[in-house]
Amino acid sequence: MPIRTLRRVSCVLFLGARLFAAAAGSSVACAQTPGAVVIKNFMFTPMAMTVKAGSTVTWKNLDGEPHTVVNDAGLFRSAALDQNETYQFKFDKPGVYKVFCGIHPTMKETITVE
């Protein structure tokens, strides 16, 4: 088989694997990136996550509405995040951190740092 054909075959296999991973569901994708929180449909996703001490968590707002990322103990408070904007915080100490949106206080999540 010529090299060019081999390359094309492996490329198609690679794309197929990517599509399969996408079809397997967003919860799987989230589990593979523990430092990432998506804000969508007025929810933090995942609503509960565990990271290692020293990890930086990134929040990204996908909604057209602005949201904020606020710790109820006052450790951090983001500015209002417009669509596709991100906020990052580095968790140095182990503990359980409650997070909510300052604009929509019913939006909540818990981040456990171990």
Place of tokens 């904007």: 85
Task: From 23-31, 48-56, 65-73, 84-92, give the range in contact with Cu ion by CB under 5 A.
Answer: 65-73
Ranges within 29-58 binding Cu ion (CB under 5 A): none
CA dihedral 16, 21, 22, 28 (to 10 degrees): 180
Stretch that binds Cu ion, among 3-11, 16-24, 30-38, 63-71 (CB under 5 A): 63-71
Q: Contact between 61 and Cu ion (CB under 5 A)?
A: no
Nearest-angstrom CA–CA distance, 112 and 62: 23
Q: 51: how many CB neighbours lie within 10 A of its CB? A: 16
Of residues 49 and 67, the one with the C-beta less far from Cu ion? 67
Check binding of 67 to Cu ion (CB under 5 A). Answer: yes
Q: How far is the CB of 89 from Cu ion (least distance, A)?
A: 17
Residues near Cu ion (CB under 5 A)? 67, 101, 103-104, 107
